[in-house]
Amino acid sequence: MNLLQGIRIAGLIRPLVLLSAAIGTAAFAQEKAVPCPEFPVPHVGQTQWVAENMRMNGMPMQIKELTTEQTPQQVLAFYRQRWSDAPPYFHEYEVSGMPAIATLRKGCFYTVQVMAHGRGAKALLGISTQPDGGQPKTPGAGFPNMAGSKVLNDIDHYDAGKTGRTILLTNTYSPDANLNFYRRTMADDGWSAIMDRSVQGTKGISHVLVMKRGYHEANLTISPGKAGASGANAGTNVLATFVDKP
């Protein structure tokens, strides 16, 4: 997962958390990844799985990508019509300039984030339920980070018998300070480095750490944040992916 994918997926979950808090849906046991009716899609379009079984900040979620010849406005119009039959109807918002629409139906949260693609559109379709216990977990729980870091995404994913976790965080420290922190704390926690190298990117030098502990592998990409108007350093992004039996 790259930073753009992380930002787009984060946009899917924001309205779900807001709707959940506003309506106070009771939590319930999960019998499968997301026990909800199928996501409605326009008849002119094709879908494919992005994530069939994942949890974002503890919230069970599935994501599909829709590709269609319809325009973004036609896609939004389809869901406005589909979800205008009963309260709470729908909520429209933007994610990084991209239009999105969301609704709640019988304890299941549906959200669509759409963008232009050629002469048509692509859309991320997210469906989720309340997490066990009724409240999302604390993002980044159990993952070391420097004081003041902000965790943007915390995603658990399950695929072909493997489990994984992807965490995206940001802080105001330099990339070098983050690199030294993770070299030290990961080693203290029993991880051994199998790759440690620098990569020149458009925003400056990024660092890639690949570490192993038993059957588990960790991949960390530590990259500069976006500089401010004065050119001052805006901090660092840390993208960490953990996989068992890689």
21-42 pLDDT, tens digit per residue, is 333 332 322 334 567 888 999 9
Distance CA 203, CA 56 (A): 28
Rg (CA), the chain: 20
pLDDT of residue 202: 77
H or E element, residue 6:
helix 3-23
pLDDT of residue 65: 93
pLDDT of residue 204: 85
> What is the bridge-based pairing of β-strands 120-128 and 108-117?
antiparallel
The token pair that represents 35 in the structure block: 């026990």
Decide if pLDDT at 17 tops 60.
no
CA 61 vs CA 8, 54, 171, 237, 243: distances in Å:
14, 5, 27, 24, 19
Q: What is the mean pLDDT of the chain?
A: 81
Decide if pLDDT at 225 tops 90.
no
Distance CA 38, CA 218 (A): 34
What's the pLDDT band for 229 if we cut at 50, 70, 90?
very low
Enumerate the domain spans of the chain. 3-128, 150-244
pTM: 0.62
Distance CA 125, CA 61 (A): 10
pLDDT of residue 19: 37
Name residue, tokens 């216990």.
Answer: 133
